[in-house]
Structure 1
Amino acid sequence: MKSVIAGIAFAALGASVAQAQNCVENFTNSGGPAPFITTYDVFPGVSTAKAIDNLARAAQVQDGWLNIRVDRRLGLITAQNDGARSGRTQEVKIAVRKQGKGTRVDISYAFQPGQLPAGNFRGDVCRIIGNADR
């Protein structure tokens, strides 16, 4: 029985690591003086309604997220966040849409000129996206 439980826990951990790898691998950066950074991940078997509710809830408790707006009809969450940790906020958009039998979640950050992502930015963003199926 212990080996079954350990196997289930390992499989669940493996799934979340694989999911995070997809998010990290999908990062794009337009570069330039005002970077525009995007990434996405796909959640098989998760409805768009569940994903947007979970992401909206997660956005509400994220440290430093301001002016959060949720449009469930459009599948869009917008907010302000200081991802550069410079005291100046960036616009964040999370788009949720159906893809096959699951949901695709895209997130984009529009940085201001001279700002660069701070800390473990990719990990932080992928953790936010990962809330879609929780």
Structure 2
Amino acid sequence: MERWAICYVSTASPYIEEKDIDSVLSYTENWNIDHSITGILLSSEGNFFQVIEGERSIIKELFDNIAKDSRHRNLIKIFNKEIKNTEFNGYEATFLSKRTSNLSQDISYLDYIKCLDSASQNTVKNILKAFVD
């Protein structure tokens, strides 16, 4: 089985409310766990950050559906690549700002980007830092 990972950021549509985001986070976490997808979905200050990992065909189809979802816009793909091993042990979806005000102290998500090249690591670090500033 060919393993694949896609990471992106996007902006929530202006009409989406916090209760809608809660629903998206809950549904996404359950669906991805049920389909053996690992990764993370973070939401903060009207933005989304997601990494999805799994079987290539499933990840590609899932991302195509994500890209068509009207609940967000300005989707920017950070990486789209084959992986040898998953970096995540499971799947989690959360409001980052609700859980912590200090990314480096409370959340170890930065550990997951060590497999990226240094330029991509810096990009992801800056995006995640912006989520909690």
Both structures adopt the same fold (TM-score exceeding 0.5): no
TM-score w.r.t. length of structure 2: 0.37
Q: Which has the higher contact order (CA 8 A, sep 6+)?
A: 2
TM-score w.r.t. length of structure 1: 0.37
Q: If you compute each CA radius of gyration, which structure gives the higher value, 1 or 2?
A: 1
Which has the larger helix fraction? 2
